[in-house]
Amino acid sequence: MEARMADVYKLASGGHRALEAMESWLASTEVPQPLLELVRVRASQINGCGLCVDYHSHRADRAGERAERLWSVAAWREAPYYTAQERAALALTEAMTRLADSSDGVPDHVWEEVAGQFSREALAALVMAIASVNAWNRVNVATRQLAGWYR
């Protein structure tokens, strides 16, 4: 596979800087970095973004995430490795990433569960993290950015 537009981030440098600013802000929130990376990996799996699955798996590893949790995140409902808070965040990730799959967008039961697991500030940051990774995924998939090019 070959990138369709390898220089998309150079050509759209203002947009790239805006997405990077979001990532910098997210790093300062109370949402734990390993959880942010799990959420990013899961959304990227759903969206088929090989670059982001690769990138965020490496970042999760560096943040101390255990291998079996990374390997199992696509099957988080069936795997015993995740806390109630992580499960709620992953359910929200799936709902926000698959908005068109539900007539009510994010179902009330998903929102109520995640809202019970996070402070309002952390929940707001989690929503922004999910939105952000979906933006990155869409740019990377549309332009066929290749996994590992950044290494």
Q: What are the sequence ranges of the domains in the chain?
A: 8-142
The pLDDT tens digits for 76-124 are 999 999 999 999 999 999 999 999 998 889 999 999 999 999 999 999 9
Rounded percentage of the chain residues whose pLDDT exceeds 90: 94
Give 8-142's CATH code, choosing from 3.20.20.140, 1.20.1290.10, 3.30.43.10, 3.30.2290.10: 1.20.1290.10
pLDDT recorded at residue 150: 75
Average of per-residue pLDDT values in the chain: 96
* DSSP letters spanning 23-88: HHHHHTSSS-HHHHHHHHHHHHHHHT-HHHHHHHHHHHHHTT--HHHHHHGGGTTT-TT--HHHHH
User: For residues 88 and 113, is the Cβ–Cβ distance under 8 A?
Assistant: yes
* DSSP letters spanning 113-135: HHHTTS-HHHHHHHHHHHHHHHH
Widest pairwise Cα distance in the chain? 44
Q: Given pLDDT bands bounded at 50, 70 and 90, which one contains residue 151? A: confident
